Copies of this chain bind each other. A is one copy, B any other.
Amino acid sequence: MTNIAFIGLGNMGAPMARNLVRAGFKVSVYDISLPAVRALAEEGARAAGNAADAVQGADVVISMLPASQHVRDLYLGSGGVLEAARGDALLVDCSTIAPEASKEIAAAAAARGLAMLDAPVSGGTGGAAAGTLTFIVGGEGEALERARPVLAAMGKSIFHAGGSGAGQVAKICNNMLLGVLMAGTAEALNLGVAHGLDPQVLSDIMSRSSGRNWALELYNPWPGVMESAPASRGYTGGFGSDLMLKDLGLAQQAALGVGAATPLGALARQLYQLHQQQGRGQLDFSSIKYLYRAD
């Protein structure tokens, strides 16, 4: 019987923790929001009064927080996870943060003899609720094998990207590319429409040609082309523009750190920044289409 501590019960963390409870794990939960803790407690989790309390006696500690600083505070702070965790606990941070932060925290954990994985996810709140997330994992292979049954209760795909921090790097690379695909696809469709082409016909042609990509095929940014896509329901739901902007910012930080050239990724970040400034940060990230055409 595995005891799990789950810290961070936001839009992603809450449904992930819920799936662990449903899978039969014994789950202690903590969040700074008391209502969030209570909601999980009503579904069978144990409500912890603070992080140290949640972590007490846990076999596996899972965290899902907004940004690097929160994760640093949780793990490295006084009364934090590294102080409170059992000596053989496995630590799994599912937050999307800077690879440098992941490496720094994993190194501090290792200094205490604790194994730690960075395991950022993709799949959004829908995937979190359905238990179909993708985990992109950095850390030791052995630790990943220990974590696998727990991750499997929350997702359906698990990739091993490499050592500590590699999960963050791979996710950041993927999402930088995704930002480029989405804006590039909106741009190509807009150019065609401006010349009088039907966006559906053009989408069909490019989907079966060398312009084919995830955004075009599964998440078409033009309203009406794909019934199931956020573009066809007012750009609601999905993956928010603000979150894409955050990930594109992480990519720029990662690029600055190693002196890598990323001209398209840098420009995609700027486009999402301009998009946000026009008041559209809350809309799904395919709404970048508005930058090209207002109606």
Given the interface pairs A166-B195, A274-B274, the reply to whether A187 lies near B263 with Cβ below 8 Å is yes
**A191-B255 CB under 8 A given contacts A173-B206, A181-B211, A197-B166:** yes
Tell me if A69 counts as interface (CB < 8 A to partner B). Answer: no
- Is A252 an interface residue when CB atoms closer than 8 A count as contact? yes
CB distance from A157 to the nearest CB of B (A): 7
Residues of B within 8 A of A259 (CB): 194, 245, 273, 276
Assess whether A88 is interfacial by the CB under 8 Å rule.
Answer: no
Asked if A271 is at the interface of the complex by the 8 Å CB criterion, the answer is yes
Closest to A294 in B: B277
Min Cβ gap A97→B in Å is 14
Residue of B nearest to A263 (CB): B270
Q: Is A174 an interface residue (CB 8 A)?
A: yes
Return chain B residues, CB-CB under 8 Å to A249: 256
* In the complex, A80 has a CB within 8 A of chain B: no
Identify the interface centre among A136, A254, A262: most chain B CB within 10 Å of its CB.
Answer: A262
Within 8 A of B (CB), among A74-90: none
**How many residues of A are in contact with the other chain, CB < 8 A?**
83
The answer to whether A260 and B194 have CB atoms under 8 Å apart is yes
Q: Contacts of A165 on B, CB cut-off 8 Å?
A: 195
With a CB–CB cut-off of 8 A, which chain B residues contact A202?
Answer: 161, 170, 173
In the bound complex, residues from chain B placing their C-beta under 8 Å from that of A276 are 259
Q: Is A268's CB within 8 Å of the partner chain B?
A: yes
A184: chain B residues within 8 A (beta carbon): 177, 180-181, 184, 264-265
Q: Mark A167-183, 1 if CB is under 8 A from B, else 0.
A: 00110111111101101
B274 near A291 (CB under 8 angstroms)?
yes
Main secondary structure of the interface of A (DSSP, over half): helix
| A260: B residues at CB distance < 8 A | 190-191, 194, 273, 292
Contacts A188-B265, A271-B263: A212 and B213 contacting too (C-beta < 8 A)? Answer: yes
Q: In the complex, what distance in Å separates the CA atom of A8 from the CA atom of B293?
A: 34
Within 8 Å of chain B (Cβ to Cβ): is A50? Answer: no
Decide: A266 near B266, CB < 8 A? Known: A178-B210, A184-B184.
yes
Q: Does A149 contact B (CB under 8 A)?
A: no
Q: Which B residues are in CB contact (< 8 Å) with A212?
A: 213-214
Nearest Cβ on chain B to A276's Cβ, whole angstroms: 7
A-B contact pairs, 23 of them (CB 8 A): A159-B201, A159-B204, A159-B208, A161-B197, A161-B202, A165-B195, A170-B201, A170-B206, A174-B188, A174-B205, A175-B211, A177-B185, A177-B188, A177-B211, A180-B264, A187-B265, A210-B215, A260-B273, A260-B292, A274-B274, A274-B291, A277-B292, A277-B294
Near B by CB (< 8 A), chain A positions 253-292 give 253-256, 258-271, 273-274, 276-278, 291-292
